[in-house]
Protein backbone atom coordinates (compact mmCIF):
# COMPACT_ATOMS: atom_id res chain seq x y z
CA UNK A 1 0.00 0.00 0.00
CA UNK A 2 1.20 3.49 -0.84
CA UNK A 3 0.32 6.65 1.04
CA UNK A 4 -0.40 9.88 -0.82
CA UNK A 5 -1.32 13.48 -0.11
CA UNK A 6 -3.19 16.11 -2.11
CA UNK A 7 -1.21 19.27 -2.87
CA UNK A 8 -4.07 21.51 -1.72
CA UNK A 9 -3.15 20.58 1.85
CA UNK A 10 -0.38 23.13 1.34
CA UNK A 11 -1.65 25.43 -1.42
CA UNK A 12 -4.82 26.34 0.50
CA UNK A 13 -2.61 27.97 3.14
CA UNK A 14 -0.61 29.92 0.59
CA UNK A 15 2.27 27.56 -0.22
CA UNK A 16 3.15 27.44 -3.91
CA UNK A 17 2.70 24.18 -5.88
CA UNK A 18 6.41 23.39 -6.29
CA UNK A 19 7.17 23.86 -2.59
CA UNK A 20 4.08 21.77 -1.81
CA UNK A 21 5.54 18.90 -3.81
CA UNK A 22 8.87 19.22 -2.00
CA UNK A 23 7.15 19.18 1.43
CA UNK A 24 5.08 16.14 0.45
CA UNK A 25 8.19 14.19 -0.46
CA UNK A 26 10.14 15.39 2.59
CA UNK A 27 7.39 14.22 4.95
CA UNK A 28 7.60 10.77 3.38
CA UNK A 29 4.51 10.33 1.23
CA UNK A 30 4.76 7.90 -1.67
CA UNK A 31 2.47 9.69 -4.15
CA UNK A 32 0.73 13.02 -4.64
CA UNK A 33 -2.66 14.12 -5.95
CA UNK A 34 -2.68 17.40 -7.87
CA UNK A 35 -5.60 19.80 -7.53
CA UNK A 36 -5.36 22.50 -10.18
CA UNK A 37 -7.38 24.03 -13.03
CA UNK A 38 -6.58 22.36 -16.32
CA UNK A 39 -8.31 25.00 -18.43
CA UNK A 40 -6.13 27.85 -17.18
CA UNK A 41 -2.90 26.09 -16.18
CA UNK A 42 -0.01 27.74 -18.02
CA UNK A 43 2.32 25.49 -20.01
CA UNK A 44 5.29 26.65 -17.92
CA UNK A 45 3.61 25.73 -14.62
CA UNK A 46 2.42 22.41 -16.04
CA UNK A 47 6.00 21.52 -16.98
CA UNK A 48 7.34 22.77 -13.63
CA UNK A 49 4.94 20.53 -11.66
CA UNK A 50 5.91 17.49 -13.73
CA UNK A 51 9.61 18.24 -13.31
CA UNK A 52 9.27 18.76 -9.53
CA UNK A 53 7.44 15.44 -9.09
CA UNK A 54 10.06 13.63 -11.14
CA UNK A 55 12.89 15.25 -9.16
CA UNK A 56 11.31 14.21 -5.84
CA UNK A 57 10.47 10.72 -7.19
CA UNK A 58 6.83 11.44 -6.32
CA UNK A 59 4.38 9.92 -8.84
CA UNK A 60 1.12 11.74 -9.49
CA UNK A 61 -1.64 9.34 -8.45
CA UNK A 62 -4.68 11.52 -9.23
CA UNK A 63 -5.56 14.75 -10.97
CA UNK A 64 -8.53 16.21 -9.13
CA UNK A 65 -11.42 18.04 -10.80
CA UNK A 66 -14.49 19.45 -9.05
CA UNK A 67 -17.23 19.50 -11.69
CA UNK A 68 -20.50 20.47 -10.04
CA UNK A 69 -21.80 21.63 -13.41
CA UNK A 70 -22.08 18.03 -14.62
CA UNK A 71 -25.42 17.80 -12.79
CA UNK A 72 -26.79 21.14 -13.98
CA UNK A 73 -30.15 20.83 -15.77
CA UNK A 74 -29.00 23.27 -18.48
CA UNK A 75 -27.55 21.37 -21.44
CA UNK A 76 -24.88 24.00 -22.33
CA UNK A 77 -23.57 24.03 -18.75
CA UNK A 78 -23.20 20.25 -18.67
CA UNK A 79 -21.57 20.27 -22.11
CA UNK A 80 -19.04 22.87 -20.95
CA UNK A 81 -18.09 20.81 -17.90
CA UNK A 82 -17.79 17.63 -19.94
CA UNK A 83 -15.29 19.43 -22.19
CA UNK A 84 -13.56 20.86 -19.11
CA UNK A 85 -13.21 17.38 -17.59
CA UNK A 86 -11.72 16.13 -20.86
CA UNK A 87 -8.96 18.73 -20.39
CA UNK A 88 -8.23 17.14 -17.00
CA UNK A 89 -8.11 13.70 -18.61
CA UNK A 90 -5.60 15.04 -21.15
CA UNK A 91 -3.56 16.53 -18.30
CA UNK A 92 -3.59 13.22 -16.41
CA UNK A 93 -2.34 11.45 -19.52
CA UNK A 94 0.45 14.00 -19.97
CA UNK A 95 1.55 13.68 -16.34
CA UNK A 96 1.25 9.89 -16.30
CA UNK A 97 -1.32 9.99 -13.47
CA UNK A 98 -3.21 6.86 -12.48
CA UNK A 99 -6.64 8.47 -12.65
CA UNK A 100 -8.75 11.60 -12.69
CA UNK A 101 -10.54 12.04 -9.38
CA UNK A 102 -13.96 13.37 -10.38
CA UNK A 103 -15.78 15.30 -7.64
CA UNK A 104 -19.47 15.97 -8.25
CA UNK A 105 -19.86 18.16 -5.16
CA UNK A 106 -22.10 16.11 -2.88
CA UNK A 107 -20.25 17.59 0.10
CA UNK A 108 -21.66 21.00 -0.81
CA UNK A 109 -25.22 19.65 -0.56
CA UNK A 110 -24.27 18.22 2.83
CA UNK A 111 -22.71 21.54 3.91
CA UNK A 112 -19.32 19.89 4.42
CA UNK A 113 -15.69 20.60 3.44
CA UNK A 114 -16.40 24.12 2.14
CA UNK A 115 -17.68 26.31 5.00
CA UNK A 116 -21.26 27.44 4.30
CA UNK A 117 -20.13 31.01 4.98
CA UNK A 118 -17.76 30.78 2.01
CA UNK A 119 -20.50 29.46 -0.25
CA UNK A 120 -22.82 32.31 0.73
CA UNK A 121 -20.00 34.81 0.25
CA UNK A 122 -19.49 33.57 -3.31
CA UNK A 123 -23.23 33.79 -3.94
CA UNK A 124 -23.36 37.34 -2.59
CA UNK A 125 -20.32 38.48 -4.57
CA UNK A 126 -21.70 36.97 -7.78
CA UNK A 127 -25.16 38.46 -7.24
CA UNK A 128 -23.65 41.87 -6.58
CA UNK A 129 -21.59 41.71 -9.76
CA UNK A 130 -24.68 40.71 -11.74
CA UNK A 131 -26.69 43.40 -9.99
CA UNK A 132 -24.17 46.09 -10.94
CA UNK A 133 -24.13 44.88 -14.54
CA UNK A 134 -27.92 44.74 -14.69
CA UNK A 135 -28.33 48.12 -12.98
CA UNK A 136 -26.23 49.84 -15.61
CA UNK A 137 -28.69 48.52 -18.18
CA UNK A 138 -31.88 49.27 -16.30
CA UNK A 139 -32.61 45.61 -15.55
CA UNK A 140 -33.60 44.24 -12.15
CA UNK A 141 -32.34 40.96 -10.69
CA UNK A 142 -35.02 38.89 -8.93
CA UNK A 143 -34.33 35.84 -6.76
CA UNK A 144 -36.78 32.94 -6.89
CA UNK A 145 -37.81 31.52 -3.52
CA UNK A 146 -39.45 28.15 -3.09
CA UNK A 147 -42.44 28.23 -0.71
CA UNK A 148 -41.47 27.41 2.86
CA UNK A 149 -43.89 24.47 2.94
CA UNK A 150 -42.42 22.87 -0.21
CA UNK A 151 -41.65 19.21 0.67
CA UNK A 152 -38.17 19.41 -0.84
CA UNK A 153 -37.01 22.49 1.07
CA UNK A 154 -35.13 22.07 4.32
CA UNK A 155 -35.63 24.84 6.82
CA UNK A 156 -31.91 25.62 6.86
CA UNK A 157 -31.73 26.30 3.11
CA UNK A 158 -33.50 29.63 2.66
CA UNK A 159 -31.66 31.53 -0.06
CA UNK A 160 -32.93 34.82 1.34
CA UNK A 161 -33.35 34.97 5.11
CA UNK A 162 -36.53 36.98 5.44
CA UNK A 163 -37.32 38.32 8.88
CA UNK A 164 -40.72 36.64 8.91
CA UNK A 165 -39.33 33.23 7.94
CA UNK A 166 -36.55 33.35 10.52
CA UNK A 167 -38.98 34.46 13.25
CA UNK A 168 -41.24 31.53 12.51
CA UNK A 169 -38.36 29.05 12.70
CA UNK A 170 -36.98 30.61 15.88
CA UNK A 171 -40.46 30.62 17.43
CA UNK A 172 -40.89 26.92 16.66
CA UNK A 173 -37.44 26.07 18.07
CA UNK A 174 -38.20 27.86 21.33
CA UNK A 175 -41.41 25.86 21.67
CA UNK A 176 -39.81 22.54 20.74
CA UNK A 177 -36.68 22.92 22.88
CA UNK A 178 -34.35 23.34 19.89
CA UNK A 179 -33.11 26.87 20.59
CA UNK A 180 -29.48 25.87 21.16
CA UNK A 181 -29.23 24.10 17.82
CA UNK A 182 -30.95 26.98 16.05
CA UNK A 183 -28.60 29.58 17.54
CA UNK A 184 -25.57 27.40 16.74
CA UNK A 185 -26.68 27.11 13.11
CA UNK A 186 -26.88 23.32 13.34
CA UNK A 187 -30.62 22.78 13.05
CA UNK A 188 -31.55 20.03 10.59
CA UNK A 189 -34.76 18.61 9.20
CA UNK A 190 -34.31 15.45 11.29
CA UNK A 191 -34.21 17.54 14.47
CA UNK A 192 -37.65 18.92 13.68
CA UNK A 193 -39.34 15.92 12.10
CA UNK A 194 -41.95 14.49 14.45
CA UNK A 195 -41.70 17.35 16.95
CA UNK A 196 -45.03 18.58 18.28
CA UNK A 197 -45.82 21.95 19.76
CA UNK A 198 -48.97 23.94 20.48
CA UNK A 199 -49.83 26.51 17.87
CA UNK A 200 -52.06 29.56 17.73
CA UNK A 201 -53.99 29.19 14.46
CA UNK A 202 -55.64 32.07 12.63
CA UNK A 203 -58.20 31.66 9.86
CA UNK A 204 -57.85 34.19 7.06
CA UNK A 205 -61.20 35.20 5.63
CA UNK A 206 -62.17 37.04 2.48
CA UNK A 207 -60.06 37.97 -0.49
CA UNK A 208 -59.83 36.15 -3.78
CA UNK A 209 -58.46 32.96 -2.23
CA UNK A 210 -60.48 30.46 -0.18
CA UNK A 211 -60.21 30.75 3.59
CA UNK A 212 -57.02 29.21 4.86
CA UNK A 213 -55.29 28.60 8.16
CA UNK A 214 -52.08 30.32 9.15
CA UNK A 215 -49.77 29.51 12.04
CA UNK A 216 -49.73 32.73 14.01
CA UNK A 217 -47.42 31.57 16.78
CA UNK A 218 -45.86 28.39 18.14
CA UNK A 219 -46.40 27.90 21.87
CA UNK A 220 -44.64 25.75 24.42
CA UNK A 221 -46.55 22.64 25.40
CA UNK A 222 -48.47 23.08 28.63
CA UNK A 223 -50.61 26.07 27.86
CA UNK A 224 -50.74 29.48 26.29
CA UNK A 225 -48.44 32.01 28.00
CA UNK A 226 -50.04 34.97 29.68
CA UNK A 227 -48.78 38.50 29.93
CA UNK A 228 -48.91 41.70 27.98
CA UNK A 229 -50.17 41.00 24.50
CA UNK A 230 -50.89 37.34 25.28
CA UNK A 231 -54.20 35.56 25.66
CA UNK A 232 -54.96 33.13 28.49
CA UNK A 233 -57.40 30.25 28.32
CA UNK A 234 -57.95 27.39 25.95
CA UNK A 235 -59.04 29.37 22.94
CA UNK A 236 -58.04 32.47 21.07
CA UNK A 237 -60.90 34.99 20.88
CA UNK A 238 -62.09 36.27 17.56
CA UNK A 239 -60.54 39.42 16.20
CA UNK A 240 -62.58 42.60 16.37
CA UNK A 241 -65.25 42.94 13.73
CA UNK A 242 -63.81 43.80 10.38
CA UNK A 243 -60.37 42.53 11.39
CA UNK A 244 -60.41 39.86 8.72
CA UNK A 245 -59.33 37.07 11.09
CA UNK A 246 -61.18 34.65 13.34
CA UNK A 247 -59.40 32.78 16.14
CA UNK A 248 -59.91 29.03 16.70
CA UNK A 249 -58.82 26.64 19.43
CA UNK A 250 -55.15 25.86 19.52
CA UNK A 251 -54.19 22.36 18.49
CA UNK A 252 -51.20 20.00 18.56
CA UNK A 253 -49.72 19.99 15.09
CA UNK A 254 -46.49 18.49 13.72
CA UNK A 255 -43.90 20.85 12.33
Torsion angle, alpha carbons of 241, 246, 247, 251, to 10: 180
Looking at the structure, tell me whether residues 9 and 100 fall in a common domain: yes
Q: Which stretch of 79-83, 99-103, 241-245 has the lowest confidence by average pLDDT? A: 241-245
pLDDT exceeds 80 at position 148: no
Examine residue 109 and state whether it is found in any structural domain, yes or no: no
pLDDT of residue 116: 78
pLDDT recorded at residue 189: 73
Determine, yes or no, domain membership for 23: yes
Residue 21 domain-assigned?
A: yes
Compute the distance between CA of residue 184 and CA of residue 173 in angstroms, rounded to an integer. 12
Q: How far apart are the first and last CA of the chain?
A: 50
Q: Which of 54, 72, 104 is the last residue of a domain?
A: 104
Residue 172's domain spans which residues?
A: 163-254
Q: What average pLDDT score do residues 134-154 get?
A: 70
Is residue 35 within 8 Å of residue 8, measured between CB atoms?
Answer: yes
Q: Provide the whole-model pTM.
A: 0.57
Q: What is the pLDDT confidence band of residue 129, given thresholds at 50, 70 and 90? A: very high
- The conformational region for residue 58 under phi > 0 = left, psi -120 to 50 = alpha, else beta, is beta
Integer Cα distance of 251 and 57 in angstroms? 71
- 98-117 burial, b at 16+ Cβ within 10 Å, e below that, comes to eebbeeeeeeeeeeeeeeee
Note the pLDDT of residue 89: 97
**Together in a domain, 16 and 95:** yes
Amino acid sequence: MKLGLINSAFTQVGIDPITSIEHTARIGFDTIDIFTEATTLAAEEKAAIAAACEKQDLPIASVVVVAIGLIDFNDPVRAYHVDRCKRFIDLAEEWGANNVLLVLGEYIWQREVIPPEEQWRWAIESCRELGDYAGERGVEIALELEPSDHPGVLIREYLVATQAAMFRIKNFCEAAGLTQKFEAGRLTEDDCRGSKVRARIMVEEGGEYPDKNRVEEYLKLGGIPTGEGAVSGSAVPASPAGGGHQGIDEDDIPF
